Amino acid sequence: MKKFTPWMIWVFLFFPFNSYATTAPPDRITTPQILWKITTHFAPPNGNYKAKPIGVCYWLKVGIFTRVVQTLEVSEWQPDLVVSVFNSDGEGLANGDNPWLEAKEFIDPPARVAAHTEAKLTTGFDYSTGQNNSISTLAHYDNIRHKIVDVIGSPFMSLDYPLKLKPDTSPFIPYYQSEYDAYQERSGLAEWLSRPWDVMAFTYPIGTPASHWGYEFPRSMTVENTNNFKASLVAALRAADLVTNKNTMHTIQSVNNSCGTNCAVANVTETTSQNGEVIWQEVYPENRNITIGEDDSLLPTPLGQSDNLAGNGNYVFVLWRHYRGCIQHSGNFLFATQSIPATQKR
């Protein structure tokens, strides 16, 4: 019988022969690293903040000396939501593949337990995350990507900076975790009951005729697309849509889309993401702005190919949403140079 030689043992230990490729993140991004990457997009050349005065707001301050107080009316983009899109390692409870380290350790475990409990009670089977970005022998199923998605309040909102309007989100608060919403989002039942026309008519397409990414409805984290990068962004957009729009029957905590009196914040739809009302910054595995729906039909390589390889199909995005309105004051609001309508939730 042939024996192992020392060099064969070394190869076996350091280059294990797996029949499948891992879908786990090769590393994790920490909260300080997310904060730093957000900071790099405040100033040019990225310049996501883009703050500028657009008017003046007037407030009546009642007291011993009643007076009228002025504050600036501002237009700016704030990085107020973090969206993690990731695969599952399939190793049991509270052990997901979220690339954001602190979210994986402290925010995701209760959602994972809830998902397993709900699956067991409703179906009698263990919770399964379904298809991820692994290679399938069936071409049709290889097009179907199921992702776990978290939408969490950005830690950057705890910091103060010039001309900052009142934040619409709180740091580290989970606004949406697809594992809590597993039954509703996978079945599509919520949209079939509340928005059947949007589902059946294939409205709100994402992308172009030459480069179709998907549809915004139903707002499921399962996306049919051969490109894992595009599928992940479609899932991210659907989750952010749920947080910032009407979300009948979904398990979720909605934001107000408001930064106070005479102040509104953009919601997230395929339109607002394409017209610049929402800026998508990828912070893991790369650090760059993303254009959802970009036409890549003429590109030499598939869009996001290097990103997909760098993170094994796992991503973290920061959403910079457009804020417009008054810097708030404790006095009674009188009027402003510009009247800001409330965000129309779809």
Task: State how far the Cα of 322 lies from the Cα of 345, in Å rounded to an integer.
Answer: 15
Q: Does residue 17 surpass a pLDDT of 50? A: no
Task: State how far the Cα of 23 lies from the Cα of 16, in Å rounded to an integer.
Answer: 16
Residue 312 included in any domain: yes
pLDDT for res 203: 87
Distances from the Cα of 251 to the Cα of 25, 146, 198, 204, angstroms: 27, 18, 20, 23
- Mean pLDDT of the region 319-325: 98
Residue reference for tokens 């059947």:
196
Residues linked to residue 46 through DSSP beta bridges, in sequence order:
none
- Mean pLDDT of the region 241-258: 93
Residue 96 included in any domain: yes
Q: How far apart are the first and last CA of the chain?
A: 70
Q: Does residue 134 surpass a pLDDT of 70? A: no
DSSP string, 68-108: EEEEEEEEEEEEEEEEEEE----SSTT----SBHHIIIIIH
Q: What is residue 159's DSSP assignment?
A: S
Of residues 2 and 159, the one with the higher pLDDT is: 159
Q: Mind listing the pLDDT tens digit for each residue in 22-50?
A: 788 999 999 999 999 999 999 888 999 99
Range of 184's domain?
30-50+77-324
Residue 271 included in any domain: yes
The mean pLDDT of the chain is 86
Residue 299 included in any domain: yes
The answer to which of 8-12, 51-55, 259-263, 265-269 has the lowest mean pLDDT is: 8-12
Q: Give residue 127's pLDDT band: very low, low, confident or very high (50, 70, 90).
A: low
Q: Does residue 205 surpass a pLDDT of 70? A: yes
- Mean pLDDT of the region 234-248: 95
Q: Does residue 121 surpass a pLDDT of 60? A: yes
Choose among 100, 105, 101, 130: nearest CA to 115. Answer: 130
Length of the chain counted residue by residue: 346
pLDDT for res 3: 44
**What backbone phi and psi angles, to 5 degrees, belong to 79?**
-85, 80
Helix (H) or strand (E) holding 342: none
Q: Does residue 216 surpass a pLDDT of 90? A: yes
Q: Does residue 305 surpass a pLDDT of 70? A: yes
Q: Give residue 10's pLDDT band: very low, low, confident or very high (50, 70, 90).
A: very low
Residue 334 included in any domain: no
Q: Give residue 13's pLDDT band: very low, low, confident or very high (50, 70, 90).
A: very low
- Mean pLDDT of the region 268-292: 96
Residue 62 included in any domain: no
Q: Does residue 18 surpass a pLDDT of 70? A: no
Under a CB-based contact definition with an 8 Å cutoff, are residues 316 and 148 in contact? no
Mapped onto helix, strand or coil, the DSSP state of residue 148 is: strand
Q: Mind listing the pLDDT tens digit for each residue in 150-161?
A: 999 999 999 999
Q: Which letter, b or e, does each residue of 302-338 get, where b requires 16 or more Cβ atoms within 10 Å of its Cβ? A: ebbeebbebbbbbbbbbbbbbbbbbbbbebebeebee
Q: Give residue 113's pLDDT band: very low, low, confident or very high (50, 70, 90).
A: confident
Mapped onto helix, strand or coil, the DSSP state of residue 156 is: helix
Mapped onto helix, strand or coil, the DSSP state of residue 154 is: coil
What is the number of structural domains in the chain? 1
Q: Model-level pTM?
A: 0.88
Q: Does residue 193 surpass a pLDDT of 50? A: yes
